[in-house]
Structure 1
Amino acid sequence: MNDIPVRVKSQPQRVVDGVSERIHGGALKPGDRVPAEPALMREFGVSRTVVREAMSRLQASGLVETRQGVGTFVLATPMASPLLSVGPRDIQVRQKLAMLELRISLESEAASLAAARRADAHLAAMRAALDTFDAQRRAGGSTTEADFQFHVQIAAATGNEYFQEVLQSLGNATIPRPAGAGSAAPTSPASTGARFGEAQPVLESGKAVTQREHEAIYEAIHRGDPASARAAMFMHLTNSRERMRLSLLAASAPKASIGD
C-alpha cells in the first residue's frame, strides 16, 4: 500500500483561510477593519512576514484592501463575475470547444498527479461515480452528473485545491446539468445544448465509449501510473471535444424543410 504524504497548509494560507472564514461567515463585514498585524501574529503564531503575505493574497482575491498607515479593511462583495463563472447558456460553440481544449491540458496533468497522490477514499469516490454512470447509461437515464463527479473526484485527488476550483468552473460551463435535477420531465439536446458525456442522436454509442475511456483513466490512477493516467485522460478529452463538436454542429445545422 502506497504511503500518502500528508499535505499541510502553508502558514500564510492558514491566515488567509482564518480571515476568509470570518468574512464569508459575516464576523467581518464590508468596511470592518481586519485585526492588526500583531493580533494576527499572536493568534496564528506566525511572523510579521507571514501575515503580510497573507494580506497580499487576500487583496489579490478582492476580499480586502490595505490603506497605507491606516489598516486593512474588508471590501464589499464584488459584483463582477469571477473567472470562468459564465453559465453554459451564455457561451458560444467556439467558447465551449476552447474551454474543452483548456481542460485537455489541465485534466491530463490532474490525472497524472491523482495517480501519484490518490488515497483510498478518492478511488472509492471515483468508482462510485463510474458505477452510477454505467447504471444510468444502461437504464437510458442522464449520465451527466456522474460524469461531472468523476472528473471532480480526480481533481480532488491531486491534493491541489486550485486544480479542483478551476476544473469545477470549467466543468460547470462545459457540462451543463438540467435545471431541476431529479425532475421527471425530459430535456432535449435542443433545449439544453450539447452535454459533455451525453450521447446525442448522431452519436448513440457515445456513452458506452465514454464509459470505456473513464475506466481506462480509473485503472491507471488505481495502479498509480501517472504516465498512463495522463495519456488516458488526454485521449478521453480529445475524443470528447470531437464528440461535442459533432453534436454542436448537428444541433446548429439548418433543418430540412418539407419537400427538400
Structure 2
Amino acid sequence: MSRDPAAFGAIRKAPNLTAGLIETLVAQIESGDLAPGQRLPTEQAIVSATGVSRTVVREALASLRARGMITTRQGLGAFVAETALPRSFSIEPDKLESIADVLQVLELRLSIEVEAAGLAAERRDPAGLERIEAAQAAFLAAISAPGADAETVGLGEDLAVHRAILAATGNAYFARVFDVFNVVIPRQRIPVAALSQTERERHLRRVGQEHEAILAAIRAGDATAARRAMRVHLTRARDRYAALRSEVKAG
C-alpha cells in the first residue's frame, strides 16, 4: 500500500513532544485518518511535519508498536495494524504527575532489566554482543561530540545501549516491554540543559562508565556480575533522577 504523507499534514509540533506526538498519532489511527494497513510516512517525513526531533519520532513509534497499533516490516517501514489488539500494558508520560510516580516506574524497570542483563550474559551471541558494543561506542561518541544539544545529548544512544542488551537475551518480549518504558526514561524527564556544563559532563561520564561495567560482564559471560552492574546502574539512575530534580527545582 502506498504511503500517504498528506495524512500527516495537520500535525504540528506537540508541546509535550513524545506524549503529544503519541496522542496525535493515536487520534489519527482511531479516527480512521490513518487506515488499517496504511504505511506511515518515513521518520524524516514525520520530523518535517511535526518539527520534533528524530529521537522523539522513534520513541513515539516504539510506544505505538508496543501497544499493537502499528507494525513494522523489514525494509518496508511502519504500517497501521490491520486489526486492533486488546489494550496492552502502557505507561502514559503525561499521567506521571510526581517524582514518586516516575520513581515507581524506575523500580519496575530495574526489576526487569537486572534479570535481562544476566540472561544477556548467558545467551549473547557474537552478533548480539557486537550490537551492544556498537551502541555503547555511539553513546560515548555522542557525549564527547562538540556542540551537541545539551538537552538531548546521548539520549537516543543511551536508549540504544539498553535495548541492545535486552535484545541480546533472545527474548523479544523484553524489547517490547522496553518500548513501553522508553517514553519515561529519566533522561527525558530531567531538564538536563539546566545543569552546568561541568555537571552535565560528569553525569554523562558516569553513565558511560556504568554501561562499560555492564558490557564487560556480558562480554565475559558472567551473569551474576551483569545483574549486579545493571542493578548498580539503574539504582544510581533512580537516585540521580531524584537528586537532579531537586537541584533544578532549588536552582
Q: Shorter-chain TM-score category?
A: 0.5 to 0.7
- 1:146 aligned onto 2:151: no
The aligned residue for residue 138 of structure 2 is 132
Pair 1:239-2:239 in alignment: no
**Structure-to-structure mapping, 1:1-260, within 5 angstroms:** 25=37, 77=84, 82-87=88-93, 89-92=94-97, 93-140=99-146, 141=148, 142-175=153-186, 193-194=189-190, 200-201=195-196, 203-204=199-200, 205-253=202-250
Seen in structure 2, the aligned counterparts of structure 1 residues 195 and 77 have a Cα distance that, compared at 3 Å, is farther
Q: Residues 115 and 224 of structure 1 are in contact (CA less than 8 Å); yes or no, is this contact kept in structure 2? A: yes
Q: Indicate the larger mover: 135-144 or 99-108.
A: 135-144
Partner Cα separation in structure 1 for residue 109 and residue 91 of structure 2: 15
Residue matched to 1:34: none
Q: Helix, strand or coil for the counterpart of 2:170?
A: coil
Distance in structure 1 (CA, Å) of the matches to 2:165 and 2:194: 22
Rg larger in structure: 1
Structure 1: distance between partners of 2:123 and 2:194:
32
Q: Deviations over 1:156-188 (max 9, x none)?
A: 1111122111122112222565xxxxxxxxxxx
Over 3 Å counting, the alpha-carbon distance change for 1:242 and 1:203 in structure 2 is farther
Task: Provide the rounded CA distance (Å) in 1 between the counterparts of 2:68 and 2:130.
Answer: 36
CA distance in 2, matches of 1:154, 1:245: 25
Cα distance between partner residues in 1 of 2:156 and 2:91: 18
Gaps of 5+ in 1: 1-23, 27-60, 64-74, 178-192, 256-260
Aligned partners of 2:187, 2:208: CA distance in 1, in Å?
Answer: 19
Shift of the 76–214 alpha-carbon distance from structure 1 to 2, 3 Å rule, reads closer
Deviation readout 1:102-148 (Å, 9 max, x if unpaired) = 11111110000000111111111111111111111112530111100
Measure the CA separation in 2 of the matches of 1:102 and 1:114. 19
Shift of 1:195: 6.9
- Cα distance, 1:238 vs. partner? 0.6
Q: Which runs of 5+ in 2 are unaligned?
A: 1-35, 39-66, 70-81
1:252 deviates by 3.0
Q: Tell me the CA shift for residue 199 of structure 1.
A: 9.4
Q: Flag the 1:219–1:117 CA change in 2: closer, same or farther, 3 A.
A: same
**Match of 1:187?**
none
Runs of 4+ in structure 1 deviating by more than 6 angstroms, as ranges, are none
Q: Is the 8 A contact 1:195 1:244 kept in 2?
A: no
Q: Which amino acid aligns with 2:241?
A: M
In the aligned structure 2, how far is the partner of 1:172 from the partner of 1:112?
A: 24
Question: Whole-Å Cα distance in 2 between the matches of residues 62 and 156 of structure 1?
Answer: 19
State TM-score, norm by structure 1. Answer: 0.57
- The one-letter amino acid paired with 1:167 is F
Superposed CA RMSD in Å reads 3.2
Identity of paired residues, percent?
33
- Give the distance between the partners of 2:135 and 2:172, measured in 1 at CA: 20
**Structure 1 residues 199 and 134: CA distance shift in structure 2, 3 A:** farther
The alignment covers a number of residue pairs equal to 170
